[in-house]
Amino acid sequence: MEEVEQQKVNKKVLYSAVQPTNALTIGNYIGAIKNMVAMQDEYTCFFAIANMHAITVRQVPAQLRQKTLSLLALYMACGLDPNRCTLYVQSHVPCHAELAWVLNTFTYVGEMERMTQFKDKSAKHADNINMGLMDYPVLMAADILLYKTDVVPVGIDQRQHLEICRDIAIRFNNIYSPTFVVPEGVYPKVGAKIGDLLDPSKKMSKSAENANGTIFMDDDRDTIIRKFKRAVTDSDSEVRYDPENKPGVSNLLSIYTAFSGKSIEEAEREFAGRGYGDFKLAVGEAVADKLAPVQSEQARLLSDKEYLNSVLKAGAERAYKVASSTLSKVYRKIGFYQL
């Protein structure tokens, strides 16, 4: 705990949160988790398990609890160290919900109705278009603003959420004097978008209709190899990075470089003159080799629930210390009487 406190000096604050819903994919690993691991020493990092966001879609309670611990264990198995960053569960810090309520009064209905994700999720869950689904971006803004966040890693599909967060912060600051840090986005350049193996024009998704196009972090070796063998390529035979003309092959090259540590150029030379069969097998083996120790460590961590609970308790205490300070400042600014 002291290590984390000492590392906060002169470092920018980074915030990121992931929902503990469906199993994460290698796209999540390449685009998010790898970067989170790399950034935990460069920034003061708060990494949340966003279970409050998760319930905007109906969840099975027992599964949500299990997936919460599973995600924590996966984070740690991938290299996130609770002594170097703050790992916590969103609902363990009540300030998230409390600040979201205040920020609701600085957010306009029209802004929420225009959000792309609200429209998409409303279409997918037409039988449960709840206020939480619409209010999702405001809770996300509260998540970010509570920790005096300087930077937020965001994918292409989250840019709109970050922009509304910035708008809300600026709106509040203009009315009540500077209160919130207005965060900037960090957009991953490599691996920002890993395509579906069967349709590389689509992002690899943990909720894809056909699971054969998605490699999950908990897939076993045989499943991984089988899925890569079925991956879409083209009628050519050259392993070359050309996203426009060879999207399937280029997607596989991106995955291979992310898991092998080799550059695109090195990979192209390695597979020069070799068929797609060899290439796809090599990609599958590189992914399986990398995931095996992660899966083993995740299983080991999950067998020690007491330790995982201690990590979450310490993380919640650290997060609450920062979040409650921000919330108290907000309450004072808006005129709430405090004891």
Total-model pTM: 0.88
Check pLDDT > 50 for residue 1.
Answer: no
Q: Are residues 109 and 181 in the same domain?
A: yes
Check pLDDT > 80 for residue 108.
Answer: yes
**339 belongs to a structural domain:** no
Model pLDDT, residue 118? 62
Q: Are residues 144 and 27 in the same domain?
A: yes
Check pLDDT > 90 for residue 252.
Answer: yes
Q: Are residues 87 and 134 in the same domain?
A: yes
Pairing verdict, β 13-18 and 86-89: unpaired
Q: Are residues 87 and 185 in the same domain?
A: yes
**249 belongs to a structural domain:** yes
Q: Are residues 279 and 328 in the same domain?
A: no
Q: Are residues 158 and 231 in the same domain?
A: no
Check pLDDT > 50 for residue 207.
Answer: yes
- Give the pLDDT band (50/70/90) at residue 208: confident
**206 belongs to a structural domain:** no
Task: Give the phi and the psi of residue 175 in degrees, each rounded to 5.
Answer: -85, -40
- Closest of 200, 123, 196, 194 to residue 156, by C-alpha: 194
Check pLDDT > 80 for residue 197.
Answer: yes
More confident of the two residues 214 and 189: 214
Average pLDDT over residues 53-70: 93
Pick the range with the lowest mean pLDDT from 190-199, 222-231, 276-285, 297-306: 190-199
- Tell me how far apart the alpha carbons of residues 260 and 271 are, in angstroms, rounded to a whole number: 14
Model pLDDT, residue 193? 75
**232 belongs to a structural domain:** yes
Q: What percent of the chain has pLDDT over 90?
A: 71
Q: Are residues 109 and 52 in the same domain?
A: yes
Model pLDDT, residue 157? 67
Q: Are residues 242 and 315 in the same domain?
A: no
Check pLDDT > 60 for residue 2.
Answer: no
Q: Which residues contact 83 (CB under 8 A, 6 or more apart)?
A: 1, 3, 4
Distance, first Cα to last Cα, the chain: 29
The pLDDT tens digits of the residues spanning 5-14 come to 444 567 999 9
The pLDDT tens digits of the residues spanning 234-250 come to 998 899 999 999 999 99
Q: Are residues 87 and 167 in the same domain?
A: yes
Q: What percent of the chain has pLDDT over 70?
A: 92
**197 belongs to a structural domain:** no
Question: Range of 45's domain?
Answer: 2-191+305-334
Task: Give how many domains the chain has, as a whole number.
Answer: 2
- Tell me how far apart the alpha carbons of residues 333 and 316 are, in angstroms, rounded to a whole number: 25
Check pLDDT > 70 for residue 142.
Answer: yes
Q: Which residues contact 276 (CB under 8 A, 6 or more apart)?
A: 233, 237, 239, 249
**203 belongs to a structural domain:** no
The distance from CA 314 to its chain's CA centroid, rounded to whole angstroms, is 21
Check pLDDT > 50 for residue 278.
Answer: yes
10 Å Cβ neighbour count for 69? 18
Q: Are residues 156 and 235 in the same domain?
A: no
**200 belongs to a structural domain:** no
Mean of all residue pLDDT scores within the chain = 90
Average pLDDT over residues 60-85: 96
Check pLDDT > 50 for residue 4.
Answer: no
Q: Are residues 49 and 171 in the same domain?
A: yes
Check pLDDT > 50 for residue 177.
Answer: yes
CATH number of the domain bearing residue 41: 3.40.50.620
Model pLDDT, residue 298? 97
CATH number of the domain bearing residue 247: 1.10.240.10
What are the residue numbers of the active site? 121, 203, 206
Q: Are residues 314 and 263 in the same domain?
A: no
